[in-house]
Structures are given as C-alpha cells and as structure tokens.
Amino acid sequence: MWRDAVLIAGRDLRIEARSRVALWQVLPFAVLTLLLFAFALGPRPGLLAQSAPGLFWLAVLFSSVLAAQRSMAIEGSGATRDSVRLLGLDPAGVFLGKVLALLAEMVALEAVLLGGVVLLFHVTVTSWGVLIGACLLAAVGLCTANVLYGSLAGEARMRATLLPVLVLPVVAPVLIAGSKAFSASVAPGSGSGARWLGILVVFAVVYSAMGVALYGPLEES
Amino acid sequence: MRRTLTILGVASVALVALDVILGLWVTPPDADQGELVRLVYLHPALAWVALYLAFGMAALCAVLYLWPRTRSMRFDRLSASAVEVGVVFIGLTLITGSIWGRPTWGVWWTWDARLTSTALLGVLFLGYLALRRVPADPEVRARRCAIAAIFAAVDVPIVHFSVVWWQTLHQGATVLNPNLTPTIHGLMAWTLLLSFIAFTTLFAWMVLMRFQIEELRESGEDVELTRALEARRAEGVAS
C-alpha cells in the first residue's frame, strides 16, 4: 500500500512541477483571498488582527478545495483511472498517494498564507508550536476529506461546482478547531490549544480511515 | 400500493387538521410563553420527522444498499425519497424555530450549537441531493449517494446531543430527555403526541409517493429507450 502511495504521490507532484497549476493559480487565489478580506474589513489593524484566525482558515479552506479539484482532475484526465486500475495498484495506496501529494501543496500554501497573515494583518504569534501543529493536522484532515469527496463527486464537468457544496460543510470542524487553536497561539492566556488540536487529530484520523476503506469502492465505476 | 397511498394521504390530512384545531383553538395558552407555545405542536414533530425518521431511514437504506446481501435499487430510491422529504422538513423545522426564537430570544437566528448543527445537517443533505443529480450509471450513483448519506447522517447524533454537550440557548430535550420523563402533561401532552403521529403519517405518505414517482420515472425511461431502439431497428430494416 505505501509503495503505491509513494508512486502516486511522486506522479502527482511531478505533474504539478511541470504544469505549475498550484503555483500560478491556487497560490495567487489564496493570497488574493487574504487581500479581499482586508479590503472588506477595512484597514484597521486591530480588527484585522482580531479576525485573522478565522480569515486565515477560510483562505486555507477555499484554497484546499481548488487544489483538490486540480488533484482529482489529474485522476479523471484521459484514461488515467483505467490505467491505475490495470496496473493493479492498491486503491488505499492511490488514496494515500493523492493525499500525500496534496498535503505537500497544502503545507506550502499554509506557510505562505501564515506569512501573509503575520505581515499584512499584524498578528503576533506567541505559541508557534500550537499554530504549526494545528496547520499540519488541519492539512491532513482537509486533504483526506477533499480527496474522498472529490472521488465521491465523480465526473470532472460536475465536480467544479459540486465539490465545494459537498466538502465545505464537512470540514466545518476543521475551521472551528483551527480558528480556536490559532486564537490560542496568539493569546496564550485565553486557554490551551491542546483541546482543539485533539479535535483536529480525531478529524484527520477518521477521514484517513474512511478514505482508505472507501476510496476503492468509490473509484469502481 | 395505490390503496395504501390513498389511506395514508387521507389519514395524514385528517390528523394534521386535527392537530391544527387542537393546537390553535382547544389547548390553553402557556403560563410563561402565552400563545407562543402553540408552535410546540408543530416544531418538535417536524424536527422528529426530519432528523430521526427521514435521515435515519436514509442512512439505514444506504447501509442496506451497500451491504451485498441486501443490495437492491429499491433501497437507493427509498433513501433518496426520504432525503428529499427530510430536507423539506428540516427547512420547516428551522423556519418554525426561527419564528419562535424572535419573540423569545429577541433574534431570528443565533449561533447556538443546536441551531448551527441542524442547519449544517440540512446543507449536508442538500449536497446529497446535488450529488444525486450528477449524471452517472445508476449503480455508481447509488453507491456514491449511499456513502454520502451515511457521512451526512453522522451529524444526526451531534444535533441530538448538542444540547447536552454544549451550553446552548435551545432548551434540552422535553420528551426524549435522558431519563425519558416528559415534562409536559394534560391536553397539551396529548396534542403534542398527536402532532408526532400526524407528521409521521404525513412523512410516510410523502416518502411512498416520492418512491412511486421515482419507480415510474425509471420504468418510463426504460420504456422510452426500448421504443427508441425499436424505431432505429425499424429504420434499418426499411432501408
């Protein structure tokens, strides 16, 4: 399973390195979202810093859907799905491979967005451990849920509009827990972020397990 | 089937009418809430149908479809019918709750755990309905929708226990409380019970009706396909 996962992750990342869709489309979209949030709220630094946890995670969520669309488009292009099946690859391995490739993109995206929030919204992080932990755990949860629902959404022509409707309500716990953990990391006196990290762990584990179990049946079409 | 539908239809209309008469004119106003209490003969029964009957049935039928021994397209149609009716009922639940909330809490909507998780549940099942409209092979669509229904139904226990797990404005369970000791009595309790029976009957009628429409639609598609194939064959023979 893991060998197949590494194979698929390598393939997806190679395609990404050549096409650079994430770099030239998803990343600019993420940064643009941050700028638009700031335009909507006005230039008051206090308000922006206060809203930063929620805005950061909203930008991550929207961008993750865009990145997942791209990842699933690779699977749906040409006869890729049939080729993968004919190669006899383990569906669980294919799922994990897609998650790993998407995870690499999401971590890079989160790093850029985090830098943007710190610089543009004047956020002072006091507990980097909680924030980085939340970012990594949330990225795992978002990637697993997006790949799973991307597969559920089916054909490419419908996926563009259907995937956000399916996946955004499901990842609401990531938005809530991520925002709370972010708030805890900028104001340590307001409470520990451990509880919220725990929710992110549960979400990531549940969706990873469901993806490993269900990706095969979903791709049988 | 037609006879069952007629009986259920007449019974549900009669029971809902009786519930309206008892709820609006016969039962007394509440000591604290006054006339506002009359929404109690509507709102909890609507929530009961949406959360437990409709989405519970959708999840159960989805499991039965996915289980190889019980796999049948009838379960897929039944699941879809239950979700469609459930989405209507959950919308009505939110609307009636909002009407009650405005004079009681002073707002049409508040970010309470019960309200938020209920709205989320509605959106999750709207996603199910959207997924159902994606053109695909019927069996592939049925499998995807079954998995989506089970995922969405995970929110049902969260909605139910939200008033226990979190500090909420929404009151705790009155009838289905953890000790199963309903704190309502007299004519009000009987009218409340009637509302549950009336809307359960209405739900059964609507689901069966929707199920029959779906079966007729699919058999109609088969008839149309056969007719088109025969027409093409006839053209081939003629030429």
Q: Mean pLDDT, consecutive 10-residue segments, chain A of 221 residues?
A: 84 86 87 90 84 93 91 75 77 90 94 92 87 94 92 75 89 91 79 83 92 81 58
The distance of B144 to chain A (nearest Cα, Å) reads 6
Rounded Cα distance between B126 and B84, Å, is 9
Predicted local distance difference test score (pLDDT) of residue A188? 62
For residue B63, the enclosing domain spans 2-238
Chain-chain contact of B134 with A214 (C-beta, under 8 angstroms):
no
The distance of A58 to chain B (nearest Cα, Å) reads 17
Residue of B nearest to A168 (CA): B124
ipTM of the complex model: 0.80
Residue of A nearest to B132 (CA): A153
Tens of pLDDT along B10-61?
999 999 999 999 999 988 888 788 888 899 899 999 999 999 999 999 999 9
b/e per residue, B196-232, with b = 16+ CB within 10 A? Answer: bbbbbbbbbbbbbebbbebeeeeeeeeeeeeeeeeee
CA nearest B207: which of B60, B71, B63, B84? B84
Chain-chain contact of A162 with B144 (C-beta, under 8 angstroms):
no
Rounded Cα distance between B131 and B80, Å, is 11
Which of A165, A170, A218 faces B144 most closely, judged by CB atoms? A218
Chain A: residues touching B (Cβ < 8 Å): 152-155, 158, 162, 165-166, 169-170, 172, 210, 214, 217-218, 220-221
For residue A198, the enclosing domain spans 2-219
Chain-chain contact of B148 with A166 (C-beta, under 8 angstroms):
yes
The answer, for B148 touching chain A at a CB cutoff of 8 Å, is: yes
Which of A152, A169, A221 faces B124 most closely, judged by CB atoms? A169
Other residues' Cβ atoms within 10 Å of the Cβ of residue A127: 16
> Which chain A residues contact residue B120 at CB under 8 A?
169, 172
The distance of B26 to chain A (nearest Cα, Å) reads 42
> Which chain A residues contact residue B127 at CB under 8 A?
162, 165-166, 169
* Structure confidence at residue B127 as a pLDDT band (50, 70, 90): very high
| pLDDT over 90, % of chain B | 53
> Which chain A residues contact residue B123 at CB under 8 A?
165, 169
CB B90 within 8 A of CB B121: yes
Please give the residue that has the higher pLDDT: either B44 or B220: B44
b/e per residue, B72-99, with b = 16+ CB within 10 A? Answer: eeebbbbbbbbbbbbbbbbebbbebbbe
Rounded Cα distance between A83 and A74, Å, is 12
> Which chain A residues contact residue B140 at CB under 8 A?
154, 220-221
The answer, for B143 touching chain A at a CB cutoff of 8 Å, is: yes
| Collapsed DSSP state (helix, strand, coil) of residue B34 | strand
Tens of pLDDT along B154-194?
888 888 888 777 777 777 766 666 666 766 768 888 999 99
Among B40-49, B122-131, B212-221, the range scoring the smallest mean pLDDT is B212-221
Predicted local distance difference test score (pLDDT) of residue B175? 65
The answer, for B138 touching chain A at a CB cutoff of 8 Å, is: no
The answer, for B127 touching chain A at a CB cutoff of 8 Å, is: yes
CB A63 within 8 A of CB A109: yes
Predicted local distance difference test score (pLDDT) of residue A9? 86
Q: How far separated are the first and last CA of chain A, in Å rounded?
A: 21
Query: DSSP state, B169?
Result: S
Task: Calculate mean pLDDT across residues B122-138.
Answer: 90
Number of domains chain B contains: 1
Predicted local distance difference test score (pLDDT) of residue A102? 93
What token pair was written down for B227? 């007719």
Chain-chain contact of A152 with B144 (C-beta, under 8 angstroms):
yes
Backbone angles phi, psi at A93, to 5 degrees: -65, -40
Average pLDDT value over all residues in chain B: 88
CA nearest B45: which of B172, B238, B184, B201? B201
Residue of A nearest to B139 (CA): A221
Size of chain A in residues: 221
Secondary structure string (H, E, C) spanning B52-73:
HHHHHHHHHHHHHHHCHHHCCH
Rounded Cα distance between B111 and B99, Å, is 15
Chain-chain contact of B144 with A154 (C-beta, under 8 angstroms):
yes
Domain of B36, CATH number, reads: 1.20.120
Predicted local distance difference test score (pLDDT) of residue A191? 61
Predicted local distance difference test score (pLDDT) of residue A73? 83
* Structure confidence at residue B2 as a pLDDT band (50, 70, 90): confident
Number of domains chain A contains: 1
Chain-chain contact of B134 with A221 (C-beta, under 8 angstroms):
no
- Which residue's entry shows tokens 């149609």? B77
